[in-house]
Structure 1
Amino acid sequence: MSLEQNISKGIMEAMKAKDTVRLTTLRNIKKYLIEAKTATGGIDELADAEVVKIISKLAKQGSDSAALYTRQGRGDLAAEELAQVAVMQEFLPRQLTAGELTEAVKAIIAETGAQSVKEMGKVMGVASKRLAGRADGKDISAKVRELLA
């Protein structure tokens, strides 16, 4: 079953369970998936990699919003955002730990043959594709820069 189908199934389950946070979150994800499908010419179903990319983006936005709400003393809104992010993370692949990220980036550097920070773009192109959804782009970039320096 594809990730998109799992989200549709999750919407049905959330309606039956009357779980409003889960239902709202999954409907929001579904809206973005439909927009992505229509923007690319009305395809039937998105690839799982595209769905992960969309959900990752939404989860990051939610986390950023929660941090902003916390700084502004709005714990109620921050808690709501974090609850939605938790639902989104159920549909994302497990995030890499710092050690796993280091090993993955070392392997990519060895594979590309990069020697200095000047070749960071070559490494980032491969790393961004290979680690998409499993690590934040900023973390990947920082690790690549650290290992090439």
Structure 2
Amino acid sequence: MSLQQRVMEEMKTAMKAKDTVALESLRAIKSALLMAQTETGAGAGLTEDEEVKLVQKLVKQRKDSAAIYTEQGRADLAEPELAQAAVIERFLPEQLTEEEIEKVVVQTIESVGASGMKDMGKVMGIVSQELAGQADGKTISNIVKRKLS
């Protein structure tokens, strides 16, 4: 079942349950999918990787907004953003733990022969591509920095 079909099914469920947070989140996914499809050309569907990247972008936007609201002492605005992020995350593949990400980073560093921060871009590129959809870029970056310094 495609992402768009899953979103439509979830929207029906959310409407019946009168779950406004889920409904708002699902409408955001649907809107983003439609925008992406029209950008790429008429009738062209999105690949699974493109769909995952799109959903990751939506989650990141919500989390970044929540962080800004929290910084400004606006918990009333941060909570709905985090709730929406949680709903949207359900459409992402299973996320890896930091330990699992660290194993991949260490293996990549050894295989590439990276010796310092100058090799960070090379390592990041390989690890990000390998763990696409399974790990957040920020987490990968932090682990790579820690291992290379």
TM-score, scaled to structure 2: 0.88
| Distance of 1:140 and 1:31 partners within structure 2 | 29
What is the CA deviation profile of residues 96-137 of structure 1, one whole-angstrom value per residue up to 9, with x for unaligned ones?
A: 222111101112223334344323222222111111222221
Q: Which residue of 2 aligns with 1:30?
A: 30
Letter aligned with residue 106 of structure 1: V
Mapping for residues 45-84 of structure 1, pairs under 5 Å:
45-84=45-84
SS at match of 1:114: coil
Mean Cα deviation higher: 136-145 or 87-96: 136-145
Is the aligned partner of 1:21 residue 2:25? no
Q: CA deviation at 1:20?
A: 1.3
Mean Cα deviation higher: 63-72 or 18-27: 63-72
| Distance of 1:112 and 1:42 partners within structure 2 | 41
Letter aligned with residue 143 of structure 2: K
Q: CA deviation at 1:75?
A: 1.9
Letter aligned with residue 103 of structure 1: K
Please give the root-mean-square deviation of Cα atoms over the aligned residues, in Å.
1.8
| Distance of 1:9 and 1:109 partners within structure 2 | 43
Identify unmatched segments of 5+ residues in structure 2: none
What is the CA deviation profile of residues 70-89 of structure 1, one whole-angstrom value per residue up to 9, with x for unaligned ones?
A: 22232221111111011011
Q: How many residues align?
A: 149
- Could you tell me the percent identity over the aligned residues? 52
Identify unmatched segments of 5+ residues in structure 1: none
Q: Which residue of 1 aligns with 2:112?
A: 112
SS at match of 1:46: coil
Q: CA deviation at 1:65?
A: 1.1
Is the aligned partner of 1:132 residue 2:132? yes
| Distance of 2:111 and 2:41 partners within structure 1 | 36
What is the CA deviation profile of residues 6-42 of structure 1, one whole-angstrom value per residue up to 9, with x for unaligned ones?
A: 1122112212222111111111111111111111123
| Distance of 1:117 and 1:64 partners within structure 2 | 26
Mapping for residues 84-95 of structure 1, pairs under 5 Å:
84-95=84-95
TM-score, scaled to structure 1: 0.88
| Distance of 1:5 and 1:135 partners within structure 2 | 24
User: Are the aligned partners of 1:65 and 1:78 in contact in 2 as well (CA < 8 Å)?
Assistant: yes
User: Are the aligned partners of 1:21 and 1:83 in contact in 2 as well (CA < 8 Å)?
Assistant: yes
